Amino acid sequence: MGVKVSSFGKIPSGKETSLFTLINKNGMCLEVSDYGATLVALMVPGKDHTTTDVVLGYEDATDYWNNDGYLGATVGRSCNRNGGANVTIQGKVYELPKNERGKNNLHSSPDGYDRMVWNYQVDEEHLSVRFYRMSPDLEQGYPGNFEISVTYTLTEENEVRIHYHGVSDKDTVANMTNHTYFNLSGHQNGTILNHEVWIDSDAFTAIDEESIPTGEICQVDGTPFDFRKQKRVGAEIGADHAQLILAGGYDHNFVLNKEKGELKKIAEVFDPESGRRMEVSTTCVGVQFYTGNFITEGVQGKEGAIYHKRSGLCLETQFFPDAVHHENFPSPILKAGEPYDSVTIYKFI
């Protein structure tokens, strides 16, 4: 029990980073780093009582710096895609980095929150670590000085609770997510194709050939996107469906059957092999279900692991991608002076 702090290595600027290890009474263990406010490891007991690390990750901050895929990353100020890499706020156009296809923005990169070293505050009593930083006006192109924090808490109910809180001095976009790749059999234990998934969603946002939402909201009924009954990830991933072909698998925003701000269970993942079950609850209106279609083939992960396409799956809670360009999507614009609050919980059964 308690919170242990150790070195997590240096980034090229020479800046040192730290790793925080949180252990609850059930022996579940969460590791997070101030490098990118990253979720690095999560050791969860399985049906045979062995404890396994169920998230993909790299060995230390240097490896995170040198590799891609946003493993365990805190993504902000705005996650997912922005078509044309711009946003208009109060009539003014703000240009964002064009880090995808030379024209769109993905995950507010290349110098996103996932590559910053955050300040931290440890709360031993509540098994939590709060990462915080002041994101200056026009950082990544977005207006407003944005005070943002990400608090990870490991509860005695085997939950990883992630709470984002922010305030900006100008209207801005606030759409934070966590990009953890889960493999409930263990991070080095094959693909997630046999995991079974349930998502409380009747519809998803269709994408174009650049993975930018077209604005169309498609019903899941009668399509491979119907996860309203628990279904194997691999059951229909190879189906001849235009949306699956465009993304090379699932990489879509699911419209959640809930109101914005209401904390509700929206997804479950079950791994028959290990018996582990994960429940996802969130206050967000959408979730990106991503099946690791673009994991760099053969990339070296932590503990000597080698990762492949579909080694892990993500459930990235969010506003809908490219929402700033679609009036029929809930708006991710945060008004100056108003609080941004968002909670997502990954609970293990």
Residues annotated as catalytic are 179, 316
Residues of this chain, 245-264, that bind ligand GLA according to CB under 6 A: 251
Contact flag: residue 294 with ligand GLA (CB under 6 A): yes
Supply the minimum distance, in Å, between the C-beta of residue 173 and ligand GLA. 17
Q: Which of residues 8, 35, 289, 290 is near ligand GLA by CB under 6 A?
A: 290
Supply the minimum distance, in Å, between the C-beta of residue 291 and ligand GLA. 9
**What is the SS3 string spanning the chain?**
CEEEEEEEEECCCCCEEEEEEEECCCCCEEEEECECCEEEEEEEECCCCCEEECECCCCCHHHHHHCCCCCCCEECCECCEECCCEEEECCEEEECCCCECCCEEECCCCCCHHHCECEEEEECCCCEEEEEEEECCCHHHCCCCEEEEEEEEECCCCEEEEEEEEEECCCEECECEECCCECCCCCCCCCCCCCEEEECEEEEEEECCCCCEEEEEEECCCCCCCCCCCEEHHHCCCCCCHHHHHHCCCEEEEEECCCCCCCEEEEEEECCCCCCEEEEEECCCEEEEECCCCCCCCEECHHHCEECCCCCEEEEEECCCCHHHCCCCCCCEECCCCCEEEEEEEEEC
| Stretch near ligand GLA under the rule CB under 6 A, chosen from 47-55, 137-145, 287-295, 335-343 | 287-295
Contact flag: residue 314 with ligand GLA (CB under 6 A): yes
Supply the minimum distance, in Å, between the C-beta of residue 233 and ligand GLA. 15
CA–CA dist 317, 256 (Å, integer): 10
Q: How far is CA 73 from the centre of its chain?
A: 7
Contact flag: residue 206 with ligand GLA (CB under 6 A): no
251 half-sphere exposure, CB direction, 13 A CA radius: 24
User: For residues 8 and 70, which CB has a smaller minimum distance to ligand GLA in the complex?
Assistant: 70
**One-letter amino acid identity for 250?**
Y
User: For residues 34 and 316, which CB has a smaller minimum distance to ligand GLA in the complex?
Assistant: 316
User: For residues 70 and 329, which CB has a smaller minimum distance to ligand GLA in the complex?
Assistant: 70
Contact flag: residue 132 with ligand GLA (CB under 6 A): no
Supply the minimum distance, in Å, between the C-beta of residue 342 and ligand GLA. 17
Q: Which of residues 64, 70, 120, 225 is near ligand GLA by CB under 6 A?
A: 70
User: For residues 89 and 247, which CB has a smaller minimum distance to ligand GLA in the complex?
Assistant: 247
Q: Residue count at the site for ligand GLA (CB under 6 A)?
A: 11
Supply the minimum distance, in Å, between the C-beta of residue 103 and ligand GLA. 15
Residue nearest to ligand GLA (CB): 290
Of the candidates 275, 287, 257, which has an alpha carbon nearest to the alpha carbon of residue 348?
Answer: 275
Contact flag: residue 94 with ligand GLA (CB under 6 A): no
User: For residues 54 and 313, which CB has a smaller minimum distance to ligand GLA in the complex?
Assistant: 313
User: For residues 39 and 314, which CB has a smaller minimum distance to ligand GLA in the complex?
Assistant: 314
Q: Which of residues 45, 69, 166, 213 is near ligand GLA by CB under 6 A?
A: 69
Supply the minimum distance, in Å, between the C-beta of residue 181 and ligand GLA. 9
Q: Which of residues 96, 106, 150, 212 is near ligand GLA by CB under 6 A?
A: 106
Supply the minimum distance, in Å, between the C-beta of residue 228 and ligand GLA. 22
Q: CA angle 210-212-215, nearest 5°?
A: 140
Residues of this chain that bind ligand GLA (CB under 6 A): 69-70, 80, 106, 211, 251, 288, 290, 294, 314, 316
